[in-house]
Structure 1
Amino acid sequence: MHEDRTRWNKKYTDREWTAEPSDIVRRFYSLAKPGMALDIGAGTGRNSVFLAEQGFDVVAVDIAEKGLAQMAGAHANLLPVCADLDVFEIPENRFSLIANILFLNRRLFPWIMDGLAPGGVLIFETYIDFPSGRGHRRSRDFCLAENELLYAFAPLHILYYEETQKTTDEGTSRLASLAAVKK
C-alpha cells in the first residue's frame, strides 16, 4: 500500500493531468438518476468534478492524496476519500452511479455490483492486455483479458460494451468500455 501511494503521489506531482472527463462518463452519466456517485481510482478528479457539476453527490476514492488534493474544494457535493482500494469496502445498494476509469482491482467486482442501487449505472473503462506483448507495456495484473469485463459484469443489464485500440504519445493501448444497469 505504501509503495502504491508513494508511486501515485509522485506521478500526480511530476506531470500535468487532464481535467476533461472521460468520453464514456460523459456519454453515459445521464442514464443514472441523480443521487450518490462513486468514482473508483479517482486520481485528480476529472470525472468526479464533472459528475458533481451534473448534480451527483460524489465520493471520490483514490490512494494518492496528491491527486485528491487537486480536486479539493472544487465542488460542495464532492467528497475526496484517501483510501487503499485493495481493502476498501463499497457499501451495499448505495450508489446511483459508479465510475471506474483506467483502474483495475478485480477484488472489487462483486462489491461494485452490490454497491449499485437498483437501477444504478456502472461506467467502467480500463486497459486490455495486448496479445504477444505489443503496444503499451503494462503489468498484466492491471490489464483485462479480452471480454473479461463483459463476463465479470454479466449479472447486470449490459447497455454498451466495446473493445478498442487507442494510440497516444505514450504508445498504443487497448481499452474495454462498459456501461451497465443493475436490474
Structure 2
Amino acid sequence: MKSDTADQHWNDQWNTIAADSKWLTPEPDVQDWAAGLTKGARILDLGAGVGRHALWLAAQGFDVVALDAAPGGLAEIDKAGGVDTVLARMDALPFDDRTFDHVLSWNVIYHGDEDILLRTIAGIRRVLKPGGNFMGTMLSKRRLPYEQAKYDGHEIGRNAWIFDAPETDKIHPHYFCTAAELLALFSGFECLQLEDREHEKPGSWHWHLTMEKLGSLT
C-alpha cells in the first residue's frame, strides 16, 4: 500500500494559499544554513511546496532546483520564475548521481513509512556530491504522545502513524523517531548538527539536522 500520500493534502493547500501564509516565508534556520554555503552552489529543494525556500535561495545567488509531488505548489514557483521545477516523488529522484552540492528538505521526508524514508535518504545520498550536505527536519518520537492525546491513531508500520484528524495531513502517514533511530537511517552520512526542538505549538517536537555525505561514497 502506498504510504507517501500527504501531497494530496498539500496540493489542496497550495491551490488555495493565502497571501499571508507562513508557508511563504523562509525559515531562519535555512537562511543561517545558506549563509555558510558557497554562492552559486547547486541546491535541491526536495518538497519545495510553493517555493518559500527555493525562491529565496535563488535570489541569494544559488542554482536551485525545486522538486515536489504536488503540482499546485510547483505552479506557484513557475509563476515567480527563476527556479527550475520538477514534478516527482521524493523516493524516486530523477537526477544523475552527484548532481547537487547540497539538498534541503524542510518538514517533508517524514511523510511516509520507513521503506519510503529509506529510499528517500538513499536517493539524497546518491544525488549529493561527496562532502555535500543535507539540511532537513524529521519528527521526534517525543511528539508522538501529544498526537495520541489529541487524536485516535494507529501504527501502520514501525514508527509510522496515521491519525483520525480530518482536514489535516495527519490522516496520511507520518514517521516518528528517536535520535538513535534517525542516525541509523542516515547511513553514509556524518552528523554535523542534531537538535530536538519544539516548534510554535506545544508538543510539536521536530529534529533539526544537518548531515554531510561521507567523501568516499558514490
Do the structures match in fold with TM over 0.5?
A: yes
1:51 offset after TM fit, Å? 1.2
**2:92 maps to 1:87:** yes
Summarize deviations over 1:76-113 as a string: whole Å, max 9, x none: 2x111122334334431111110011012412111111
**2:108 maps to 1:103:** yes
Structure 1: unaligned runs, 5 residues or longer: none
Task: Name 2:196's counterpart in structure 1.
Answer: 163
Moved over 6 A (4+): none
Return the match for 1:38 from 40, 44, 48. 44
Q: For the Cα contact (< 8 Å) 2:143–2:205, is it kept in 1? A: no
Return the match for 2:203 from 172, 175, 182. 172
The structure that has the greater radius of gyration is 2
Q: How many residues align?
A: 180
Q: What is the one-letter code of the residue matched to 1:142?
A: H
Deviates more, 1:154-163 or 1:132-141: 132-141
Deviates more, 1:53-62 or 1:141-150: 141-150
Q: What is the one-letter code of the residue matched to 1:48?
A: A
Q: Taking structure 1 as reference, are residues 88 and 95 closer, same or farther at Cα in structure 2, changes over 3 Å only? A: closer
Aligned residue for 1:72, secondary structure, equals helix
Return the match for 1:74 from 70, 80, 97. 80
For residues 99-178 of structure 1, the aligned pairs below 5 Å read 99-104=104-109, 105-106=116-117, 107-130=119-142, 133-135=145-147, 140=161, 141-147=173-179, 148-168=181-201, 172-178=203-209
Q: For the Cα contact (< 8 Å) 2:10–2:70, is it kept in 1? A: yes
Aligned residue for 1:126, secondary structure, equals strand
Structure 2: unaligned runs, 5 residues or longer: 110-115, 154-159, 162-172
Q: Taking structure 1 as reference, are residues 116 and 70 closer, same or farther at Cα in structure 2, changes over 3 Å only? A: same
Q: CA RMSD in A?
A: 2.6
TM-score normalised by structure 1 residue count: 0.83
TM-score normalised by structure 2 residue count: 0.71
Q: Distance in 2 between matches of 1:180 and 1:87?
A: 20
Q: For the Cα contact (< 8 Å) 1:127–1:143, is it kept in 2? A: yes
Over the matched positions of the two proteins, sequence identity in percent amounts to 25
